[in-house]
Amino acid sequence: MFHSFSKKIIVLTLIFTLVTSLFLPLLPVGVFAEDSDFCNQVKNATCDDDLKSLSEDSRLKDCGDEILNYFQKKVKDCNAKLEAQKNQTQKQLNSLNSQQTTAQKTLNNLTFNIKKLNTEIASLNLSLAELENAIQEREKAIKELDDALGQHKAILSEAIRQIYEYNTLSYIEMLLGYRTLSDFNQKLEEIDRLQKSLKSSMEEIRKAKEQMEKEKEELTQKKKEQEQYKAMREMSKQSLALRQEQQQYLIEKLAVAKTPLEKEMARIEAELMELRTAMSQIERYLAQWVLVGQVNWSTIFSAVQRASSATGVRPALLLGILQIESRFGTGLGTPGRYQDYCNWSSSPYCAYSTEAAALESICQKFGYKPTEVPMSSACAIGPSQFLPCTWLAYGGGGNPWNLNDAVMAMARKLNASGGAEENKVDAYNPCKKCAEGFVNGIKVSNPSYVNSVITSADAWQDVIDICGLNLSCPQMQQRLQTKFSNIPTE
């Protein structure tokens, strides 16, 4: 019995060896080791590695969700570090720009003040020239008065000499010199009048000379004062010119200092773009059906932000519709009854006769079974709760159970409708059997639905105005934890 058992073992071993030798060569050598090495590289990636290149490698999708999630967190961490570097660099650039602006304003003021001083100095030069001319005129007038005074003195001296001579003449000499005594007396009176006239003229000349000398002295003093003032303005101009040169030098230095910071900012921006590309690629690999328990706020906000950026629909409105339609993808209905829910005629614009046929084509494209996908009793599918034919019109060829595709289609459908947001929401889910009404003064066919969406959107807008779509914001955390605690953050 023992030998029989041993023979069986030997035979099984031979068979296993034969099968292995036949089929192992058909497998690519080293494929598992290569994938494993690559996934380890992804898992151990640092911010210094080319994360964009790793994210675009087709082997990434085979590394599994655990490594993909870890890689996604790594990319986010690297993005946060780069954003911090960017903010710090931007602060430094802002500081340099502020200094440069201040220096330029100072330089402009100095240049303006120097121009004012140049104008003032030119005016002083003109005034000094006028004063110099006035002083020269006074000097000329004083000289002329001196000359006139000299002439008058000479005449007066001659008159005094003649009177003296006359006083020393004897009567005989007087009579010999003049025919009568009356003539002699007349001559003396003429000389006396001349003497008085000369004295009067000389007094006027002295007064005029004194006035000219006084004016000259005043003009000279004024000239001196203006020369001193001009010297002060010249010194001020030199001081301003020195400061002007210093400010110009400072501006040049600041411009040089900005260049490496601007280059660093450009490098950071380029790396951030690469990280955003990597993040988008990782999210695409992580995208799966959005079923109960498979959504989180990180993916919801990411999908909403992407759709809003692409279409212009505000994030709060997208969140409002997503909340009312599918509870953010956590209430998609039940699978298994698509024939009951969808076997009815489609709209005229649909390429398929029934919604069920349209659903079958969608499921075939993505490899799903129509009986296994969740839906509402009205045949609405995915987070956007579109009918299959509606999805074919707005889904852009995407997967209706993929959150990113669903929210993007939602934004497209909203944009396709005109009018106010109330009209767009009404067109998103019209109701032929409902009683028409007004929401915010706008007439709609489905007032209850529109009011629910707008109310939800307004509540989201209140917190978005404070936080944006920032999960770390305290007000956002409070809203999510209070209202939607069943959905995880990450």
Indicate whether 218 pLDDT > 80.
yes
Indicate whether 66 pLDDT > 80.
no
pTM (two decimals): 0.45
**What pLDDT does residue 295 have?**
80
DSSP-derived secondary structure for 310-326: HH---HHHHHHHHHHHH
**What pLDDT does residue 424 have?**
93
Average pLDDT, the chain: 82
The H or E element that residue 17 is part of is helix 2-23
Q: What is the mean pLDDT of residues 67-89?
A: 85
* Domain architecture of the chain: domains with CATH: 74-284 (1.10.287.2610), 292-483 (1.10.530)
191: exposed, middle or buried (C-beta count within 10 Å: 0-12, 13-18, 19+)?
middle
Nearest alpha carbon to residue 381 among 266, 318, 368? 368
Indicate whether 29 pLDDT > 70.
no
> pLDDT tens digits, residue range 165-195?
665 655 555 555 555 667 667 766 776 777 7
> pLDDT tens digits, residue range 281-338?
776 665 455 554 468 899 999 999 999 999 999 999 999 999 999 888 888 887 878 8
The contacts of residue 466 (CB under 8 Å, 6+ apart) are: 473, 475, 476
Contact 461, 318 (CB under 8 A): no
Indicate whether 12 pLDDT > 70.
no
Q: What angle do CA 81, 85, 89 make, to 5 degrees?
A: 170
**What pLDDT does residue 179 have?**
57
